[in-house]
């Protein structure tokens, strides 16, 4: 469990790796230049970006903006069906359907693009995220491999995972030789995949539930969405809201832990993916526009056609694709480099978003981890704003941490890790990353959010009377999330 955070962080980066070659040398150079100059307020500053960056060819965000400006709308190609076999059917939790922390995957299961049970094999997940949302195969492929290795069963003849908690269906689809116990699913993957600082889901240790949509948090997100604005600019404008969420975790959660993978790379997806992959596309907005109504539908919130939050009704697990919804242009899929630039863009607004570590002794006691110390000096990048450095660090740390995370889950850890190892190798090929063999994992011991395990993932009963006590009921809640098994990981 202790290493899960690192492993998750690495996995996210891996997702980026396969698409990474699409970031050409010129773009990378421009980004590096801008990163170096970012210490100077006037260089390529966040505040100026919306108005002026597009005019500055040395600013990488201008390239992204220009790319979107070139988007063309094709209704026939981009329309996503929500009728017939793809009509919305809400989950039946009584019969064991699983829904979890990811609204994107929950909606796919509610519309039959994924099995309604919420347990799916890797290929089905990669295909569905690509065809419905325009998520590139490299990004979808990495996320699916990571989820399968850490939350599902890579040894199965049909490797995959549950998008919620453990499921009886996991025993069928995920049944493979060498797996000890039941796969956790995404809901049970705290610090591996699921992280603190989510936009609408609460920090696990604060509420005992990391997969429900919390209405107050949803309302904050709703109002943070800039209206009548193209989706790329909507993403830029979400940075203060993102920073505010980070601040809330820091100041309210004594167990706040921001891991190299789940924290730095997965958590930002919750801010990037809605404008990038839930926005509706039209002739007026060929680059997409995420209206508050579309956003509400995708997050399972019935606004009752009101703009007053008092009227909003959150239906847990009822995430839905709106009717008359058009995805990204076919030739403009959302890839690993696109996502990396999104991560870096918000981190430029608030650099704490790139600092992994956590609270050490109560709230607001954050201590960052030095990459050099953690990796015995093998990786020592001062500037994580360089996407190449970020990729090397996250992927390699995740891979190095994986054996510790997986050691108690599989009889043959090396075999279970093979899909991850292969994917990391593929993504880092030609990147010139120094070769990391192991990490000084004892450095994580000072973080309660790392050492304390949770629910079925050990340590729960050891927590005793501290603030985490009492969360068990929440965890076994409506969505069939974590089920304590007493198994120590
Ligand atoms: C294989 C593909 C995917 C996997 C394995 C995955 C997994 C996850 C996980 C583990 C989280 C929890 C992160 C956290 O705790 O902060 C999450 C959150 C989220 N995901 Fe996904 N995801 C996938 C694809 C997508 C897609 C395609 C979209 C959008 C179209 C999406 C939208 C989101 C959003 C908006 C959140 C944040 C929810 C919130 O806290 O408000 N995801 N996803």
Ligand 1 centroid – CA 41 distance (Å): 33
Q: Choose the residue to mutate in 4, 11, 15, 102 for probing ligand 1, maximizing ligand atoms within 8 Å of C-beta.
A: 102
263 CB under 6 A from ligand 1?
Answer: no
360: its two tokens: 């050490």
d(CA 270, CA 187): 15
- Backbone φ/ψ region at 228: left (φ over 0), alpha (ψ -120 to 50), beta: left
- Dihedral sign of CA atoms 234, 236, 242, 243 in order: negative
pTM value is 0.83
Domain ranges of the chain: 82-189
First vs last C-alpha separation in the chain: 6
Which whole-number Å values give the CA distances from 185 to 10, 144, 148, 175, 231, in the listed order? 18, 12, 9, 14, 31
* CA-proximal residue: ligand 1, atom 29 (nearest): 104
Contacts of 35-42 spanning 24+ positions with Cβ under 8 A = 35/344, 35/383, 35/385, 35/386, 36/383, 38/348, 38/385
Classify residue 263 as exposed, middle or buried by CB count within 10 Å of its CB (0-12, 13-18, 19+). buried
Instruction: Name residue, tokens 């505010």.
Output: 244
Axis crossing angle, helix 413-428 with helix 387-406, rounded to the nearest 10: 180
Output Rg (C-alpha) for the chain, integer angstroms: 21
Task: Name the residue at shortest CA distance from atom 3 of ligand 1.
Answer: 143
Question: Is the distance from the beta carbon of residue 318 to the nearest atom of ligand 1 less than 6 Å?
Answer: no
Pocket test for ligand 1, best of 105, 202, 253, 314 (most atoms within 8 A of CB): 105
Q: What distance in angstroms lies between residue 108's CA and the mean position of ligand 1's atoms?
A: 12
Q: Are 450 and 156 in contact (CB under 8 A)?
A: no
CB of 125 shorter than 6 A to ligand 1? yes
64: Cβ below 6 Å to ligand 1? no
| Residue 278 pLDDT | 98
d(CA 457, CA 486): 8
Cα–Cα dist 327/231, whole Å: 12
Q: What is the mean pLDDT of each run of 10 residues along the chain (489 residues)?
A: 31 28 36 40 37 48 50 94 98 93 98 96 96 95 89 84 82 64 83 93 90 97 98 97 98 93 91 98 97 98 96 97 97 90 92 92 94 83 70 81 77 87 87 82 89 49 32 34 31
Structure tokens given for 226: 């800039």
Angle formed at CA 167 by CA 88 and CA 201, multiple of 5 degrees: 65
Tell me if 9 sits within 8 A of 356, measured CB to CB: yes
Burial of 54 (0-12, 13-18, 19+ CB in 10 A): middle
Q: What is the pLDDT of residue 252?
A: 97
Distance CA 273, CA 339 (A): 9
Going by CA atoms, what residue is nearest to atom 35 of ligand 1? 270
For CA atoms 12, 10, 195, 235, the dihedral sign is negative
Give the per-residue pLDDT at 236: 97
Burial degree of 140 (CB within 10 A; 0-12, 13-18, 19+): buried
The SS3 assignment for 139 reads helix
Cα angle value 306/308/311 (rounded, 5°):
70
């Amino acid at each position: 469990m202790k290493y899960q955070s690192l492993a998750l962080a690495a996995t996210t980066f891996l997702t980026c790796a396969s698409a990474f070659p699409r970031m050409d040398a010129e773009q990378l150079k421009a980004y590096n230049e801008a990163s170096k100059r970012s210490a100077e307020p006037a260089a390529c500053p966040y505040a100026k970006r919306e108005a002026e960056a597009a005019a500055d060819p040395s600013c990488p965000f201008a390239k992204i903006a220009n790319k979107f400006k070139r988007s063309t709308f094709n209704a026939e190609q981009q329309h996503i069906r929500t009728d017939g076999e793809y009509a919305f059917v809400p989950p039946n939790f009584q019969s064991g359907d699983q829904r979890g922390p990811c609204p994107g995957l929950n909606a796919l299961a509610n519309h039959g693009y994924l099995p309604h049970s919420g347990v799916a094999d890797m290929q089905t997940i990669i295909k569905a995220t690509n065809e419905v949302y325009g998520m590139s195969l490299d990004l979808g492929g990495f996320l699916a491999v990571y989820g399968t290795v850490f939350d599902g069963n890579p040894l199965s003849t049909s490797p995959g995972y549950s998008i919620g908690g453990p499921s009886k269906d996991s025993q069928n689809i995920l049944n493979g030789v060498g797996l000890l116990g039941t796969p956790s699913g995404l809901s049970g993957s705290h610090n591996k995949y699921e992280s603190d600082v989510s936009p609408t889901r609460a920090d696990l240790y604060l509420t005992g539930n990391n997969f429900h949509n919390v209405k107050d948090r949803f309302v904050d997100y709703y109002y943070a969405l800039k209206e009548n604005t193209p989706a790329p600019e909507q993403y830029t404008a979400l940075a203060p809201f993102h920073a505010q969420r980070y601040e809330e975790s820091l100041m309210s959660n004594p167990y706040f832990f921001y891991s190299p993978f789940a924290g730095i790379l997965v958590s930002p997806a919750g801010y990037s993916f809605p404008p990038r992959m839930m926005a509706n596309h039209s002739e007026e907005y060929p680059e997409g526009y995420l209206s508050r109504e579309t956003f509400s539908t995708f997050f399972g919130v019935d606004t009752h056609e009101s703009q007053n939050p008092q009227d909003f009704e959150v239906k847990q697990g009822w995430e839905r694709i709106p009717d008359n919804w058009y995805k990204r242009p076919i030739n403009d899929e959302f890839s690993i480099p696109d996502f990396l630039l999104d991560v870096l863009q918000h981190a430029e607004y608030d650099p704490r978003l790139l600092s992994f570590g956590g609270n050490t002794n109560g709230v607001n006691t954050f201590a960052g981890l030095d990459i050099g110390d953690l990796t015995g000096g093998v990786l020592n990048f001062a500037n994580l704003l360089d996407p190449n450095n970020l990729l090397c660090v996250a992927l390699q740390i995740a891979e190095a941490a994986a054996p510790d995370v997986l050691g108690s889950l599989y009889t043959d850890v090396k075999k279970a890790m093979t899909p991850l190892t292969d994917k990391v190798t593929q993504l880092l090929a030609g990147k010139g990353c120094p070769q990391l063999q192991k990490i000084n994992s004892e450095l994580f011991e000072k973080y309660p959010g790392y050492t304390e395990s949770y629910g079925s993932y050990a340590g729960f009963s050891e927590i005793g009377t501290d603030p985490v006590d009492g969360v068990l009921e929440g965890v076994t809640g409506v969505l069939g999330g974590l089920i304590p098994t007493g198994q120590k990981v």
